[in-house]
Amino acid sequence: MSGREAKSPRPDPEAAYYQTIEEFFVARRGDPLFLSNADWNLVRRWRQAKIPLRVVLRGIKDALDGHALSWGARQKVGSLAYCAREVESARERWAEALAGGHSESGVDLAAALADFAAALARARELGPRSRVAAAEAAEALRSRVDEPGGPEIEAWLGEQEARLVAVIEADDGPAVVAQLAAEAEAALAPYRSRLPPKVMGRLLAESKVRRLLERHGLPRLSLFHLEPRPAASALP
């Protein structure tokens, strides 16, 4: 070691959402206590609702900023649940911007759909049924580029991904699926002692899907996983 401190390893992609929210909340609250099981399950619900990380952090920041200016500022916020209302408000603002095609959403829907379709066309080593499913999904995505839609687009993308994943799993076979599940278990093992079973179950399922798609050079079909444009990403 050279005098410089070793950097912490990057969290597993599926765990990064949870870990980043915990670190941000704990740092802003100014208290070394970590999240409770109830807090972790709240984060799981935000993740299931596909609220982007930057939107959750915005809500937490707004809630804690408001608390700092309130009559109760001397008393520390005891739970992440205190921030739930502001996170929901931030989600509503983001969803409205997304539905209206506003730049504040940080997402160019038409470009995102076109990119997903192009990725599906480039997919590698797909089985016969998977090639057909990928081509059908790509065509469906291209058909929506001119009118990408509003709030329901994420649910629609989820349906496209779920159908594709089911076919790829069938083509790749149980041995491959089992191997990917084992890899997900190993990668997420460090979190098992800290996270409630429902949260771990969610992480493992998401990790397996990501690994299956990555095996064929495919991204997750979700706006949740997109990086925002720089102007929309930074917290003030």
In the chain, what are the domain boundaries?
Answer: 13-104, 107-225
| Torsion 53-59-61-63 (CA) sign | negative
Burial class (CB in 10 A: 0-12, 13-18, 19+), 174: exposed
More confident residue, 8 or 104: 104
What pLDDT is recorded for position 74?
A: 60
Please determine, for residue 236, whether its predicted confidence score (pLDDT) is greater than 50. Answer: no
What pLDDT is recorded for position 207?
A: 94
Measured from the Cβ of residue 114, the count of other Cβ atoms closer than 10 Å reads 16
What pLDDT is recorded for position 94?
A: 83
Counting Cα atoms < 13 Å in the Cβ hemisphere of 225 gives 15
Q: What residues contact residue 123 under an 8 Å CB cut-off, 6+ apart?
A: 130, 131, 134, 216, 217, 218
Q: Letter for the amino acid at 20?
A: T
What is the average pLDDT across 175-179? 96
What pLDDT is recorded for position 73?
A: 53
Please determine, for residue 104, whether its predicted confidence score (pLDDT) is greater than 70. Answer: no
